[in-house]
Amino acid sequence: MTDLFEDFEHTAWRLETQRGYASDRLSPSWERFMRGESFGFNPESSWHANVRAQTRQGKRFERVRLVDDPPTEGQRFLMASGLGNVEAGEDIRNLYRSEAQRLGLPNDDFWLFDSRTVVKFVIDDHGVTLGVRVLDDPEAVVRACQARDAAWHHAIATAEFHARVPSSR
């Protein structure tokens, strides 16, 4: 699956729906977050380096994160760590979960590559990613495109969202 993050032609778009991810809690950045440290662009990060390389070619990395009101600890971590992703070149936006439910957005995390390939995550109740399903059938792709369009239209840009959400630390 990792080749999709380099080989896409135009857009890599993600919907993040979880209240927290086990992989985040296990990362070294979690401890930094718990100490109240800030996160920025890290040229040593393979993710940031790839985002920067792809966006220099005119490709777009975009994502919408669902956020509870108030945000969970896991969502606050994503908001903090996402600042480095934005600095690397991603366009990350946030959408309150209540609005996502009103819009009928799916509860599943997925990546959508070039409006052709959907990578749907299988995540358990503890935020552990059990695997992914790669889908390219027209029905799955159309549903993902519709979710993307609705989420993107209503989501709030990172800087604006951060200004609206009171710090809980």
Which stretch of DSSP H or E encloses residue 19? none
Range of the domain at 114: 4-164
pLDDT in tens, 102-152: 999 999 999 999 999 999 999 999 999 999 999 999 999 999 999 999 999
Domain assignment of residue 81, yes or no:
yes
Domain assignment of residue 64, yes or no:
yes
The total number of structural domains in the chain stands at 1
What six digits make up the tokens of 95?
A: 């959408």
CA distance readout (Å), 5 to 54, 73, 99, 165? 9, 28, 29, 31
Domain assignment of residue 128, yes or no:
yes
**How many Cα neighbours within 13 Å face the side chain of 163?**
5
pTM score above 0.75:
yes
Domain assignment of residue 169, yes or no:
no
Domain assignment of residue 156, yes or no:
yes
CATH number of the domain that 95 lies in?
Answer: 3.30.870
Domain assignment of residue 136, yes or no:
yes
pLDDT in tens, 10-25: 999 999 999 999 999 9
For residues 8 and 2, is the Cβ–Cβ distance under 8 A? no
Q: Give the span between the Cα atoms of 51 and 61, in whole angstroms.
A: 7
pLDDT in tens, 22-62: 999 999 899 999 999 887 888 899 999 999 999 999 999 99
